[in-house]
């Protein structure tokens, strides 16, 4: 704020609560006086912020002045026109109209702007007890379902796979055994940690998007054993485009952007006395790793599947440990 707004204009400085001895601004803040348009813009920002009443919700009273300032400065910077602003209003309205309990288009819009990834990172940093060595988080995304079946360690989350399944041969080629441990940041295994996992089928669809798949296909919860170890059969993940038939998809087209997410498997790993971890792992073979439509890829989450020998149920093998931060 200092650089842009503070000139020698004493009235402006007074309005902003800034005073200088001898009425002279110090060298480093001496700038060109504001033009009258800039002055009017600052005055409008000040008026909107000053309209906040004394009984305002404290967190909102902290957040909103910054939002107002950035919004106004953005509109001014790009010379936003009425038709452009109206197009954005229509778009946000349409996001609401198209959303329901299976689809959250406003969240998707935030995702393609990187906002969910940013807020996930900020929240995770804020709650971190010790940042040393815990597995990084990644966005939850809109396809999580509560109460996935609790399955015995070592069982499969691939349901009803038969030669009639349209993506049968791909599922066989990508069949994978996934195992690892859940550890605390001090290196100790966490017996009884719960690993909740879900992924899209080789046709790029989650089961709730696809009439062909059975309920809760490619979803499961597992309990880590006394050594903190979990294991299950699944598939190597496939890249898929995010839902593309709404305003978020249209925006991607207008921006000439890739709508795909690299193949990934979602996890929520939880245990008593530890902060639950929401994350994803990404297959290193994927061509979209460097252009995730929702900007969730982190180096530590990129994994390498290895060929698996002597197991008729899996062609691939992955070992990956999750490290949870202690809570409180």
Applying CB under 6 A, which residues contact ligand BEZ?
Answer: 108, 111, 139, 141-143, 242, 261, 294
- Determine the Cα–Cα distance for residues 31 and 221; give it in Å rounded to an integer: 61
Q: Tell me which of Fe ion, ligand BEZ, none is bound by residue 294, counting a contact when its beta carbon lies within the kind-specific cut-off of 5 to 8 angstroms.
A: ligand BEZ
With a CB cutoff of 8 Å and minimum separation 6, the contacts of 219 are 145, 148, 149, 157, 197, 198, 207
Choice between 230 and 267, CB closer to Fe ion: 267
Strand partners for 281: 265
- Residue 202 interacting partner from ligand BEZ, Fe ion, none (CB closer than 5 to 8 Å by kind): none
Stated as kind and residue range, the H or E segment containing 179 is: strand 175-184
Distance of closest approach, residue 267 Cβ to ligand BEZ, in angstroms = 12
Contact 273, 326 (CB under 8 A): yes
> Total number of residues binding Fe ion (CB under 5 A)?
1
CB of residue 26 vs Fe ion: minimum separation in angstroms? 53
- Scan for tokens 């170890």, then name that residue: 229
Q: Report the residue closest to ligand BEZ, judged by CB.
A: 141
Q: Which is nearer to ligand BEZ, 141 or 228 (CB)?
A: 141
Question: Based on CB atoms, which residue is closest to ligand BEZ, 42 or 278?
Answer: 278
If contact means CB under 5 to 8 A according to the sort of partner, which of ligand BEZ, Fe ion, none does residue 263 touch? none
The entry of Fe ion, ligand BEZ, none near residue 45 (CB within 5 to 8 angstroms by kind) is none
Cβ-based nearer residue to ligand BEZ, 144 or 320: 144
* Residue 150 CB, nearest approach to Fe ion (Å): 21
Polymer length in residues for the chain: 328
Is 3 within 8 Å of 32 (Cβ atoms)? no
Q: What's the closest the beta carbon of residue 114 comes to ligand BEZ, in angstroms?
A: 11
Q: Tell me how far, at minimum, the Cβ of 142 lies from ligand BEZ, in Å.
A: 6
Residue 45 or 218 with smaller CB distance to ligand BEZ = 218
For residues 295 and 289, give the distance between their C-alpha atoms in angstroms, rounded to a whole number. 9
Q: What is the rounded distance in angstroms from the CA atom of residue 309 to the CA atom of residue 319? A: 15
Residue 242's binding partner out of Fe ion, ligand BEZ, none, with CB under 5 to 8 Å set by partner kind: ligand BEZ
Nearer to ligand BEZ, 34 or 113 (CB): 113
What is the smallest separation between the CB atom of 206 and ligand BEZ, expressed in angstroms? 7
Q: How far is the CB of 266 from Fe ion (least distance, A)?
A: 6
**Terminal-to-terminal C-alpha distance of the chain:** 36
Instruction: Assign 233 to helix, strand or coil.
Output: strand
Eight-state DSSP code of residue 56: S
Q: In this chain, which stretch among 28-36, 42-50, 60-68, 140-148 interacts with Fe ion, using CB under 5 A?
A: 140-148
Pairing status of strand 219-223 against strand 277-283: unpaired
Q: Which of Fe ion, ligand BEZ, none interacts with 5 (beta carbon under 5 to 8 A by kind)?
A: none
Whether residue 261 contacts residue 111, with contact meaning beta carbons closer than 8 Å, is answered with no
Cα–Cα distance, 87 to 92 (Å, whole number): 9
CB of 232 to Fe ion, least distance (A): 17
- When the beta carbons of 29 and 113 are compared against ligand BEZ, the nearer one is 113
Round to whole Å and give the CA distance between 71 and 77. 10
Is the CB of 65 or the CB of 136 nearer to Fe ion?
136
Contacts 24+ apart (CB under 8 A), 209-218: 209/143, 212/165, 212/166, 213/159, 214/159, 214/160, 216/145, 216/148, 216/149, 216/159, 217/157, 217/158, 217/159, 217/160, 218/157, 218/158, 218/159
Q: Which residues bind Fe ion (CB under 5 A)?
A: 141
């Amino acid at each position: 704020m200092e650089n842009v707004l503070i000139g020698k204009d004493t009235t402006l400085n007074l309005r902003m609560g800034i005073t200088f001895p001898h009425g002279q601004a110090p060298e480093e803040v001496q700038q060109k006086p504001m033009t009258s348009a800039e002055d009017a813009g600052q005055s409008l920002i000040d008026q909107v912020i000053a309209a906040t009443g004394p009984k305002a919700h404290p967190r909102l009273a902290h957040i909103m002045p910054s939002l107002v300032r950035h919004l106004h400065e953005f509109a001014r910077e790009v010379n936003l026109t009425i038709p452009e602003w109206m197009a954005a209003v229509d778009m946000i309205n349409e996001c609401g109209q198209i959303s329901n309990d299976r689809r959250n288009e406003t969240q998707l819009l935030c995702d393609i702007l990187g906002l969910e990834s940013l807020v996930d990172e900020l929240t995770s940093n804020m709650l971190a007890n010790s940042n040393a060595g815990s597995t990084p988080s990644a966005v939850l995304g809109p396809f999580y379902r509560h109460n996935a079946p609790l399955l015995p360690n070592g069982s499969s989350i691939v349901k009803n796979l038969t030669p009639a399944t349209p993506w049968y041969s791909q599922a066989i080629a990508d069949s994978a055994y996934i195992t690892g441990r859940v550890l605390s940041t001090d290196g100790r295994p966490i017996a009884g940690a719960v690993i909740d996992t879900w992924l899209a089928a080789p046709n790029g669809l989650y089961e709730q998007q696809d009439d062909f798949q059975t309920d809760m296909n490619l979803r499961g919860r597992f309990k880590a054993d006394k050594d903190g170890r979990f294991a299950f059969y699944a598939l190597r993940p496939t890249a898929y485009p995010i839902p593309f038939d709404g305003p978020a998809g249209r925006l991607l087209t207008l921006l000439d952007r890739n709508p795909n997410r690299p193949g990934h498997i979602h996890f929520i790993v939880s245990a008593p006395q530890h902060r639950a971890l929401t994350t994803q792992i990404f297959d290193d073979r994927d061509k979209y790793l460097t252009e995730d439509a929702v900007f969730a890829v982190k180096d530590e989450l990129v994994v390498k599947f290895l060929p698996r020998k002597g197991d008729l149920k899996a062609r691939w093998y992955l070992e990956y440990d999750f490290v949870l931060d202690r809570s409180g």
